[in-house]
Amino acid sequence: MGEKIGELREIKQFREWFEKRHDYAKKWKEKNGGSVVGYYCTYCPEEILYAAGILPVRILGSHEPESITRPYLHDMYCPFCHDTLAQGLEGRYDYLDGVTLAQSCLHMRQAFFSFADRVPNIEWSYYMPFPHGVNNPHAVDYARHEFEKFKTAVEEWTGTTITKKDLDSAIDVYNKNRELMMKVFEARKGEKPPITGLHAMEMVVSSQIVDKRDHNEVLESLVERLEEVEVEREIGTRLMLIGSEDDDRSFLEMVEYKINYPATFVYEENCTGARYFWGLVRKSDDSIRSLAERYVYRVPCPAKDWAVGKLLRRRFQHIERVIKEYNVEGAIIAQMKFCDPHELDIPSLRALFDKHDVKHLTLELDITQPVGQFRTRVEAFLEAMAEEDLF
């Protein structure tokens, strides 16, 4: 008999990294003597930082109540921005040497500038323009130009020269990480997905906060052992989680383990899920351009995915493929409160799901989640689906 997924040492390692992210970064810094840079948005070309010997760490919240960010951010700014800035102001990111942002949205931009200005240990910051319209034919050229400027800024700060060999080596490490996580997600297409949404989230988020080489070692072992996993739980309704950043364990655990109707997330279309790692960097003589192509052509965020002429929104095309390939039966649209790009997408998402006969439920996320209310709503949603299947 195989081991249960939650008992695998690889899954336990992802969870430990996830829960002790700050401890890991501090130990890495002490061991390697390198700088640690926090990044706000997954459009940041981490490979450039990594090629300079820097550890990129995604800035995330703690999902704890906070009351110290109001002097710096409007109340109507999203909870993610308030939560992440609070972590910086409270000293939890006291090991960061720098912070950067690839332009995402107005809310995140203000959180970034406040973080850079108000967190005392930040000695270097860089705001990088990034094309909002990734479907524009000039987007790659624009991004390449900005990536080159970013590379120069990193070199000037660190006093190092990032060679093509350095950059290609970093690209190899990151591509390997993406390939391995895509293999894990591919395994979820089957009738009995070996990994739950909870464990998938911990896998993906831990990859955003630890050295990719360390993460790759554990990932390789997990991929080799997936076929041996004993799926001990009833799969139930096959769900897609779609929407804003969502690394709240209590929510995922509630849906998959603590309600009366069995359900399993088989795919997460968000930036703490597949949107972070889907798509590789194509190797070429122009490594900076190859990076720009990957970040422009990856599965896009709603803030970036606008139709241009005959070019349709790529994110929706990707979602349609996922529905078919992963046999998605229901979708939970988890939108961060006050997140305009995601909120604007909801009517179109509902129409898309209706088109494919995928039932859907919309929930609004906050710094802390009303798990009791969510449980009632999710149970009612799944119950209605189950009763509909009877007729």
Domain membership of residue 350 (yes or no) is: no
Confidence check: pLDDT of 253 > 80: yes
Domain that holds residue 38: 28-164
Neighbours of 389 (CB within 10 A): 9
Stronger pLDDT, 113 or 370, i.e. the higher one? 113
Residue 363's SS3 state is strand
Task: Categorize the per-residue pLDDT at 389 as very low, low, confident or very high, splitting at 50, 70 and 90.
Answer: low
pLDDT at 311: 63
pLDDT at 188: 96
Stronger pLDDT, 312 or 233, i.e. the higher one? 233
Buried b (16+ CB within 10 A) or exposed e, 348-373: ebeebbeeeebbbbbbbbbbebebee
Stronger pLDDT, 202 or 70, i.e. the higher one? 202
* Closest alpha carbon to 102 in 69, 118, 84, 125: 125
Yes or no: say if 63 and 83 are a contact pair by the CB < 8 Å rule.
Answer: yes
Q: Amino acid letter at 357?
A: D
Domain membership of residue 147 (yes or no) is: yes
CATH number at residue 72: 3.40.50.11890
For 185, 275, 386, the CA distances from 315, given in Å and listed in that order, are 18, 10, 29
Confidence check: pLDDT of 199 > 90: yes
pLDDT at 307: 73
Confidence check: pLDDT of 309 > 90: no
Domain membership of residue 45 (yes or no) is: yes
pLDDT at 236: 94
Q: Any idea which of 17-21, 98-102, 302-306 has the lowest mean pLDDT?
A: 302-306
Tally of domains within the chain: 1
Confidence check: pLDDT of 327 > 60: yes
Domain membership of residue 65 (yes or no) is: yes
Domain membership of residue 69 (yes or no) is: yes
Ramachandran region, residue 243 (left: φ > 0; alpha: ψ -120 to 50; beta: rest): left
Task: Categorize the per-residue pLDDT at 92 as very low, low, confident or very high, splitting at 50, 70 and 90.
Answer: very high
Q: Any idea which of 4-8, 14-18, 182-186 has the lowest mean pLDDT?
A: 4-8
Domain membership of residue 344 (yes or no) is: no
Q: What is the pTM of this model?
A: 0.95
What's the CA gap between 222 and 205, in Å, rounded?
16
Give the CA count within 13 Å in the CB-facing half-sphere of 212: 25
245 exposed, middle or buried (CB, 10 Å; 0-12, 13-18, 19+)? buried
